[in-house]
Amino acid sequence: MNAQTMSERDPMSIIHAQPLLSIRDLSIALPAGGDRPHAVRNISYDLHAGEILCIVGESGSGKSMSANAIMGLLPSYLKPERGQILFRGQDLLALDEATLLGMRGKDIAMVFQEPLSALNPVMTIGDQIGEVMRVHREYPGEARARRVLELLEFVGLPDPATIVHSYPFRLSGGQRQRVVIAMALALEPALLIADEPTTALDVTTQAQILALIRRIQAEKGMGVMFVTHDFGVVAEIADRVAVMEKGVLVELGDAEQVLNDPRHPYTRRLIGAVPHGRAREGGRADDRTVLEVRNLRKTYASGGGLFAKKRVTHAVDDVSFRVRRGETLGIVGESGSGKSTIGKCLLKLTNVDGGEILFDGHDLARLSERQFRPMRRAVQMIFQDPFASLNPRHTVGRIISDGPVASGVPRETADVRTRELLELVGLEASAFDRYPNQFSGGQRQRIGIARALALEPRVLVADESVSALDVSVQAQVLALLADLQQRLDIALIFITHDLRVAAQICHEVIVMHRGRVVEAGPPAQIFDAPRHDYTRRLIDAIPGKAWDPTRVPAAA
Amino acid sequence: MNFLSFFVSRLGKALVVVLGVVIINFFLIRLAPGDPATVMAGEAGAGDAAYVAQLREEFGLDKPVVTQLGIYLKGVAHLDLGYSYRNHLPVLDLILDRLPATFLLMSGAFVFSIVLGVLLGVIAARTRYENRRRWIDSAVMSGALLLYATPLFWLSLMAIILFSVVLGWLPAFGMESVGAGYTGLARAQDIALHMVLPTVSLGCFFMAVYVRLTRASMLEVMGMDFVKTARAKGVPARRVIRVHVLRNALLPVITFAGIQLGQMAGGAVLTETVFSWPGIGRLMFDALLQRDYQLLLGIFFVTSALVVVFNLATDILYRFIDPRIAVGGREAAA
Amino acid sequence: MTSFLRRYCRNAGAVAGLVVLLAVVAVSFLAPLLYEESPWMMVADPLIHPFADTAYPFGTDMLGRDITAGLLYGARVSLLVGVVSTAVALVFGILIGAVAGYCGGRIDDALMRFTEFFQTIPQLAMAVVIVAIFNPSIYSIVGAISVVSWPPVARLVRGEFLTLKQREFVQAAVVIGQRPLRIILTQILPNAMSPIIVSASFMIATAILTESALSFLGLGDRNMMSWGFMIGAARTMIREAWWMSVWPGVAILLTVLAINLIGEGLNDAMNPQLRRRGE
């Protein structure tokens, strides 16, 4: 658990005897009124040059705290109370701001989570990368422009000469993250801190960025600290792993050991919750089709005016599939694939531009809102954002009862049913009179599920319903959904970007790319024998494929 | 949307607004209590029966409303804004004569309010963000709050009392010293001296508005991710403020400036009245006293048209400054 | 509700503002009780200095009218005009904004053109013109102020409705089968109320300033003594009796400041909710 064990085993440490970075007993206090007194308490770990250390934890674990403390970027109300941050032997917490300023960007660099907001929107890319060199007075004159082009090429951006003069809004999320990485590398820092840099990116883009970071680290010999919540990413790139729970470091060791033979029960529980992509056992007995979609089409037109042409996007382009009673169909795709749009079309939250949605003998696409409303009970939705999907001013009981009341059930009857539902989804009866902001993300999703079930639907659409949840909570909600589906014999359409999750709970999966269905079939077939090129790319991009989390004995 | 298309559509909107004002003027006269011809003749002209009859014929008041509107619109298109009986001059001439003085006053007040407002807003935001000497932030904001609550005309009066009556430092009324016959540089100095009190009192209220807006905008931008990126690069605080924060924070201030000008035009009426400044605001006050409705509506029309033109200019300026719009781009999804 | 009051009271300025406003309201109710005669009555020698005579604490004007009475009665006019014109503007603005925001599309375009038009026109100039043409009276003043102050409300409400319409809990309401009117009234509007309430308080302050400006220009109701009128009347005496213009201005300043402080207090107290995450 500490540096001594490390030096016994690692031959490299003979050359780099002193760790590049050494955190010793760091504690950062939270202001009064928080859910615990310390953001992080007594954490200690080392990072050596040439290795990648992954700090992994759920939300609220404090995993980003030490990273921000190293850079001196903690908000003013969070001050390190105790401990040392030794970088090349110097305690960063004891240095003055001027010295630290000289080190930031030059000796230690950082990459953040949100690429879309990480760049100044009114400065060109070239100027922003050049700024690092400018403030540290490196690469004067023409050398600077050359260095900028060199960096852009190194991070794999196409056409660097044009990008240098572009503004950030022209680049995609993945491209912007590459720019941020280029900025971080400009002065060849010894330590690179990456705080969830791929969390906001698509899985294929994430794979490319992870490969880039690995390449950089191998070529430049930097020490990399990588904060993440995703064990797959850890399996993909980590040399060593530190696991954090509620501000405390619970496990620290080599990646091999932590991933395959974790010692702390929390680590074991986390790994147990990781979706393993192992296909679901057993099929379903029923063969009756509940919902069938044929040649669905939805286009968006944007821009245009007196002198410009309109731009047309085919969000959903000739999509067909069917769902059977008691079956879970997964719709998998990256952002822009059209998967969420399909969900909105099925619920008639948006107009359909072509095709048919056949349900119960009606074509839902043809119906007007007024005609459809009485049928709405049968098709319900569970939304993505647990914090925005519940009206903050209504009590939980009212939120759930509103559905039946809207279709004519008297409030008292609906309330009785609501209490039953609360029990069904695993919430206490007292939740009835409380407000959403008193519940956690996972609990709010359960409320959302109860709301959907209150109408006794036959089809349930879950639009990225677990994407915003921590992995352990996610596992619980998925288990709940599977259980409910079996008991109530509902058809479930599960929309997600995570192929592993889909593989775990779906009977059938369709893969979407740019509005079209590129592949369909049971998860085992898609994983073992993908037919389409894009599906192959998608599967290859899954981080940590080589690692099998199910080999770890689950926590008691 | 490319620039030509943008410009044409904005221009179209501007013209529609101007047209709307004209139509409002038209209907106001007709909705007013009393005979439209008498209303248009004004208090002074109403006594002159021949004049009233002449007006009745000129504006076709016995014809159907639609024809009347047509006649009126044609008149405005020819820049004929009517005739002021009391002053024995066409309305347009009266307005054009007084316009330069108002321009002078409003440009002065505008520059004063924006420059000082942005400066103080930036200072206040910086001290609050850096958490040092926060009393500066509190002081500036309290001052802004106070000014924001002060009636403009009253502030002008208090300024006159203090600086003119009690201290005698600055002149109280008019644009120039009457009968002194200054020319050239001496004249410019004289006008400048007379300009101080009116400009500052008109500008103070709007300065408070800009202080609050700038400070709020700066604080919002300071919390954004790209500022954190800049700090992580080792960019010193002063450069972060100047290059990263300010350029983004000022964008909404520019948009706002266009809207504020409409309010300032109204404020000019009050200021010019108190200081007897010979501009169209004062002219409007006189028109009120004299019940000269044609003059009143003419001034209203000109003021509105000027505000619309200025808004158009700000819109175009904004387009050039914000690269997200200037280069005619939208988010590229590669 | 109690947590809201607690948050509000943490702001010293907001509490002070509330106290001052309550004092002004009390004064406006007490005015006819303390001074039965109209403030327009000439009751004493002209130009008595303030604090010179205990019967006339703030002195008298050049026609011998009691300034103190004028101040007290002026409170009634300011508050009356402020509240009523804001209420009218709110009703109209909320209606237009809600319809534009919820319906979207061409209805939204048309309504927003209409709103933009009224917003572009210089406000005080328009108010002056309306009151002048329709002859100054309490009705024309309230009407004029309402006409120029509804556009910002409409824009605000439209903006709120547009954002809220996209929020998942509103989409959920559609999905469970609630009807549009019910969605607007029970889901969207209650969540849009906080910025509307804050906006309303600032609108009352602005309305009071506008009313005083109109009265100052001589466009006030002849039967109602207004603070703005008092300042306008004092203008001619600025060298002989400069103190006459001070008191009504201070009264306006204090009232408007109090209302602004309340508005800011409401804003701070209403906002910390919605964004509480379980972290």
What own/partner pairs with CB < 8 Å and gap ≥ 24 does B310-313 have? B310/B258, B310/B261, B311/B14, B311/B258, B311/B259, B311/B261, B311/B262, B311/C120, B312/B10, B312/B11, B312/B14, B313/B258
Summarised one tens digit per residue, pLDDT across range A529-542 is 899 999 999 988 98
Centroid of chain to Cα C95: 19
d(CA C108, CA A263): 61
The residue ranking higher by pLDDT, B260 or B120, is: B120
d(CA B153, CA B285): 13
User: Which residue of B lies nearest to C152 if distances are taken between CA atoms?
Assistant: B259
The residue ranking higher by pLDDT, A446 or B58, is: A446
Q: Would you state the structure tokens that stand for residue A271, as one six-digit string?
A: 């790994």
pLDDT of residue A556 exceeding 50: no
Yes or no: say if A325 and A385 are a contact pair by the CB < 8 Å rule.
no
Residues 414-443 of A with CB under 8 A from C: 437, 439-441
Nearest to C218 by CA among C232, C238, C237, C235: C232
Yes or no: say if A401 and A447 are a contact pair by the CB < 8 Å rule.
no
Query: In angstroms, what separates the C-alpha of B226 from chain A's closest C-alpha?
Result: 4
- Among A273-287, A337-351, A465-479, the range scoring the smallest mean pLDDT is A273-287
DSSP-assigned letters across all residues of A402-435: HHHHHTT--HHHHHHHHHHHHHHTT--GGGGGS-
Q: Which residue has the tokens 């695993």?
A: A426
Per-residue model confidence (pLDDT) at position A16: 54
Q: Which residues, including other chains, have CB under 8 Å from residue A551's CB and lie 6 or more apart?
A: A260
Mutate one of A108, A170, A335 to test the B interface: name it (highest B CB count within 10 A). A170
- Interface membership of C183 toward A (CB under 8 Å): no
Tally C-beta pairs within 8 A across B and C: 134
Of B6, B232, B323, nearest to A110 by CB-CB distance is B232
Q: Which chain A residues contact residue B5 at CB under 8 A?
A: 305-308
- pLDDT category at B1 given cuts 50, 70, 90 is low
User: Which residue of C lies nearest to A470 if distances are taken between CA atoms?
Assistant: C279
With CB atoms and an 8 Å threshold, state whether B289 touches C245.
Answer: no
Q: Which residues, including other chains, have CB under 8 Å from residue A99's CB and lie 6 or more apart?
A: none
ipTM of the complex: 0.86
d(CA C250, CA A167): 52
d(CA A29, CA A69): 12
Mean local confidence (pLDDT), A494-516: 90
Nearest to A224 by CA among A243, A239, A202: A239
User: Which residue of C lies nearest to A439 if distances are taken between CA atoms?
Assistant: C278
Of A135, A169, A336, nearest to B235 by CB-CB distance is A135
Yes or no: say if A354 and C149 are a contact pair by the CB < 8 Å rule.
no
- Interface membership of A367 toward C (CB under 8 Å): no
Tally C-beta pairs within 8 A across A and C: 68
Q: Which chain A residues contact residue C167 at CB under 8 A?
A: 388
DSSP, collapsed to helix, strand or coil, labels residue A149 as helix
Instruction: Tell me phi and psi for residue A469, to 5 degrees.
Output: -105, 150
With CB atoms and an 8 Å threshold, state whether C176 touches A380.
Answer: yes
Per-residue model confidence (pLDDT) at position A6: 43
Of B228, B232, B331, nearest to A105 by CB-CB distance is B232
Three-class DSSP labels, B164-176: HHHCCCCCCCCCC
- pLDDT category at B166 given cuts 50, 70, 90 is confident
Q: Which chain A residues contact residue B334 at CB under 8 A?
A: 171-172, 175
d(CA A513, CA A515): 6
Query: In angstroms, what separates the C-alpha of A305 from chain C's closest C-alpha?
Result: 15
DSSP-assigned letters across all residues of A281-344: SS--S---EEEEEEEEEEEEEE---SSS--EEEEEEEEEEEEEETT-EEEEEE-TTSSHHHHHH
Q: Which residues, including other chains, have CB under 8 Å from residue B118's CB and lie 6 or more apart?
A: B210, B214, B250, B253
Yes or no: say if A15 and A23 are a contact pair by the CB < 8 Å rule.
no
- Interface membership of A451 toward C (CB under 8 Å): yes
With CB atoms and an 8 Å threshold, state whether C260 touches B303.
Answer: no
- Residue A91: C-alpha distances to residues A85, A481, B27, B321 (Å): 5, 50, 77, 44
- Contacts of C among chains (3+ CB pairs under 8 A): A, B
d(CA B296, CA B25): 10
Query: In angstroms, what separates the C-alpha of C259 from chain B's closest C-alpha?
Result: 9
For A76, the enclosing helix (H) or strand (E) is none
Query: In angstroms, what separates the C-alpha of B246 from chain A's closest C-alpha?
Result: 11
With CB atoms and an 8 Å threshold, state whether A406 touches C182.
Answer: yes
d(CA A102, CA A114): 25
- Interface membership of A59 toward C (CB under 8 Å): yes
- Longest Cα separation, chain A: 78
User: Which residue of C lies nearest to A457 if distances are taken between CA atoms?
Assistant: C176
d(CA C216, CA A308): 52
d(CA A239, CA B307): 65
DSSP, collapsed to helix, strand or coil, labels residue A278 as coil
Instruction: Tell me phi and psi for residue A329, to 5 degrees.
Output: -105, 130
Mutate one of C165, C167, C171, C175 to test the A interface: name it (highest A CB count within 10 A). C175
- What is the identity of the amino acid at A178? R
- Interface membership of B5 toward A (CB under 8 Å): yes
With CB atoms and an 8 Å threshold, state whether A172 touches B248.
Answer: no
For C164, the enclosing helix (H) or strand (E) is helix C138-166
pTM for the model stands at 0.84
Mutate one of B131, B132, B226, B245 to test the A interface: name it (highest A CB count within 10 A). B226
- Residue B47: C-alpha distances to residues B31, B53, B297 (Å): 21, 11, 20
Tell me how many helices (H) and strands (E) chain A has: 21, 20
Query: In angstroms, what separates the C-alpha of B144 from chain C's closest C-alpha?
Result: 11
Residues facing residue C56 across a β-bridge: C53
- Contacts of B among chains (3+ CB pairs under 8 A): A, C
Q: Count CB-CB contacts under 10 A for residue B27.
A: 12
For A1, the enclosing helix (H) or strand (E) is none
Q: Which chain A residues contact residue B6 at CB under 8 A?
A: 305
With CB atoms and an 8 Å threshold, state whether B232 touches A109.
Answer: yes
- pLDDT category at A307 given cuts 50, 70, 90 is low
Residues 206-265 of B with CB under 8 A from C: 259, 262-263, 265
Of B5, B229, B333, nearest to A112 by CB-CB distance is B229
Q: Which residues, including other chains, have CB under 8 Å from residue A245's CB and lie 6 or more apart?
A: A57, A58, A61, A266
With CB atoms and an 8 Å threshold, state whether C176 touches A441.
Answer: no
d(CA A73, CA A62): 14
Summarised one tens digit per residue, pLDDT across range B275-315 is 999 999 999 998 888 888 888 888 999 888 888 888 888 88
Query: In angstroms, what separates the C-alpha of C75 from chain A's closest C-alpha?
Result: 37
With CB atoms and an 8 Å threshold, state whether C168 touches A389.
Answer: yes
DSSP-assigned letters across all residues of A43-55: EEEEE-TT-EEEE
User: Pairing between strand A240-245 and A379-382?
Assistant: unpaired
Yes or no: say if A85 and A91 are a contact pair by the CB < 8 Å rule.
yes
B241 DSSP 8-state letter: I
Of C120, C125, C231, nearest to B266 by CB-CB distance is C125
Per-residue model confidence (pLDDT) at position B322: 80
pLDDT of residue A400 exceeding 80: yes
- pLDDT category at A281 given cuts 50, 70, 90 is low
Q: Count CB-CB contacts under 10 A for residue B38.
A: 17
With CB atoms and an 8 Å threshold, state whether A388 touches C168.
Answer: yes
- pLDDT category at A292 given cuts 50, 70, 90 is very high
Q: What is the mean pLDDT of each run of 10 residues along chain C (279 residues)?
A: 80 89 90 80 80 80 84 91 96 94 89 89 90 90 95 93 92 93 91 90 94 93 90 85 88 94 87 39
Q: What angle do CA B198, C249, B147 make, to 5 degrees?
A: 60
The residue ranking higher by pLDDT, A305 or A506, is: A506
With CB atoms and an 8 Å threshold, state whether A383 touches C172.
Answer: yes
Buried b (16+ CB within 10 A) or exposed e, A33-48: eeeeebbbbebbbbbb
d(CA B290, CA B276): 16
With CB atoms and an 8 Å threshold, state whether B262 touches C205.
Answer: no
Yes or no: say if B105 and B279 are a contact pair by the CB < 8 Å rule.
yes
pLDDT of residue A204 exceeding 60: yes
How many CA atoms, within 13 angstroms, populate the side-chain half-sphere of residue A100? 17
Summarised one tens digit per residue, pLDDT across range A77-101 is 888 888 999 999 889 988 988 899 9
- Contacts of A among chains (3+ CB pairs under 8 A): B, C
Of B1, B6, B247, nearest to A122 by CB-CB distance is B247
The residue ranking higher by pLDDT, C3 or A521, is: A521
Q: For chain A, how many residues are written? A: 556
With CB atoms and an 8 Å threshold, state whether C174 touches A349.
Answer: yes
- Among A94-103, A360-369, A481-490, A547-556, the range scoring the smallest mean pLDDT is A547-556
Q: In what order do the strands lie in the sheet with A191-195?
A: A108-111, A191-195, A223-228, A52-57, A240-245, A248-254
Per-residue model confidence (pLDDT) at position C274: 33
Mutate one of B157, B297, B303, B311 to test the C interface: name it (highest C CB count within 10 A). B157
pLDDT of residue A1 exceeding 90: no
Yes or no: say if A165 and B324 are a contact pair by the CB < 8 Å rule.
no
Of A102, A110, A169, nearest to B324 by CB-CB distance is A169
User: Which residue of C lies nearest to A437 if distances are taken between CA atoms?
Assistant: C276
Q: Would you state the structure tokens that stand for residue B242, as one six-digit string?
A: 């100047």
Instruction: Tell me phi and psi for residue C218, to 5 degrees.
Output: 90, 10
Q: Which chain B residues contact residue A302 at CB under 8 A?
A: 330
Per-residue model confidence (pLDDT) at position A305: 57
Query: In angstroms, what separates the C-alpha of C111 from chain A's closest C-alpha?
Result: 20
